[in-house]
Amino acid sequence: MRLKKTIIIGLLLGGVLLFSKQTLLKPNTKTNTGIITSPIPNTVLKTARNDIKPALSVSKSIFVPYWALGQDDFSVIPYGKVYYFGITADEKGVVKDDPGYKELESHNCPNSQECILVLRLLDRGINEKILQNTTSQQKIIKEVLGLTNTHFFSGVALDLEISGLISDDTKGQINNFVQQLYTLTNKDYKTLSFIIYGDNYYRLRQGDMKFIGSHSDEVMIMAYDLSKNYGEPGPNFNFDQKEKYGYDFKQMISDFTSEVDVKKLTVIFGMYGYDWTLNEQGTPLKRGEAVTVNQINKLKTQMSNIKSESQKSKEKKIEYVDEKNQKHVIWYEDQESSDVKTKYLLDQGIEKVSFWAWGYF
């Protein structure tokens, strides 16, 4: 009797399991409510879970130029990461009588912050001499790394600027210098950041970004000065409207992400603009003068005839007439316009932005 009961229970359980299996495998099943349902395969569930990406958050840093460091110490700057701009060099090594070097001598990076030492090489003639001389490069690198250790910097940022078109030989020399600097900074447990023009692709600048991206820990894009102060008035770096201005922020990001890992990219916003003085026809009488966001906000409170606009380029534009009855126009980046661009960067997987410069906004 007990055996018979056990057999019956076993048959019943087997039937239930068979029915359940058939129901799960059946493409469409009509429930008691009349709703037709389809089972969800494990592979679909797994894919759906993998498609859910965590929300990105932006990491912000600031550039502190040497002329601002005399007013404030690193420790009072409310950013977790600070780029000190910086020291310079020539073919003989780091320039000791440069004001950037002198300011650095009285400051150390505090324990609460990550500080990066910027090597600013801005003179084309001097830069070409350095690039042609490996002995000069080795001396510069040794002295720069010595300063990072003395003043508690965790890395080096190379701001190597060569205006105009350059030869393939010079591009190769830049790559060799970057490779050497990258190897030695990493060997010293430091990072290397490479700072590059935002219009690198548009104006065929010097950067071989595929090589540089693979031989640096960070690539920092200067997303400003698309409209030059010696040219026609225009946005600092327009967000879109490539058809109108020839290039835009969105295309710039597309160009860089085609060759550099998004995790290595940092976009630098220039928190300033240019003030152009115009003639009767609305064309510039002279070069535009650089003005910071702080200066622009002060100007707004002083001028009664000022006209302010937020352009489709997502940057700001103001027009006014000065005391000499001359017309002016200013295009500039501020916190509001940079926020629009930052949101776009997050959508592209870029999580790091920086600002030029401390004291400008």
Q: What is the DSSP string of 204-247?
A: T-S--HHHHHHT-SEEEEEE--SS-TTSS---SS-SS-HHHHS-
Burial 101-116 (b: 16+ CB within 10 A, else e): bebbeebebeeebbbb
How many CB atoms are closer than 10 A to CB 311? 15
Beta pairing class for 155-160 and 89-90: unpaired
Cα angle value 350/356/360 (rounded, 5°): 135
pLDDT of residue 163: 81
By DSSP bridging, strand 81-87 and strand 114-121 are parallel
One DSSP character per residue, 295-313 reads HHHHHHHH-SS-EEEE-TT
Q: What is the pLDDT of residues 327-343, one digit of tens each?
A: 999 999 999 999 999 99
Q: How many residues does the chain have?
A: 361
Intervals of the chain under pLDDT 70: 1-54, 206, 310-311
* Region 59-270+334-356: CATH code: 3.20.20.80
| The predicted structure's pLDDT at residue 112 | 87
Distance CA 174, CA 133 (A): 11
Q: What phi and psi, each to the nearest 5 degrees, are found at residue 26? A: -70, 130
Give percent of the chain with pLDDT exceeding 70: 84
Total-model pTM: 0.84
Which of 229, 213, 254, 271 has its CA nearest to residue 68?
A: 271
How far is it, in rounded angstroms, from Cα 47 to Cα 20? 24
Pairing mode, strands 81-87 and 59-65? parallel
pLDDT, position 51: 52
| Residue 40 confidence (pLDDT) | 42
What's the DSSP call for residue 248? -
Return the pLDDT at 106.
Answer: 86
Report the C-alpha gap between 150 and 173 in whole angstroms: 29
Of 236, 269, 265, 235, the C-alpha closest to 253 is 265
pLDDT for the residue 307: 86
Give the whole-angstrom CA distance, residue 345 versus residue 201. Answer: 18
User: For position 73, what pLDDT does the model report?
Assistant: 83
d(CA 240, CA 249): 6
Distance CA(164)–CA(45), nearest Å, equals: 54
Tens-place pLDDT, residues 194-229 = 999 999 999 988 679 999 999 999 999 999 999 999
pLDDT for 303:
85
Residue 53: per-residue pLDDT: 54
Instruction: Determine the pLDDT at residue 52.
Output: 53
Q: State how far the Cα of 276 lies from the Cα of 286, in Å rounded to an integer.
A: 7
> By the 8 A CB rule, do 61 and 80 touch?
yes
What is the rounded CA–CA span in Å between residue 270 and residue 267? Answer: 10
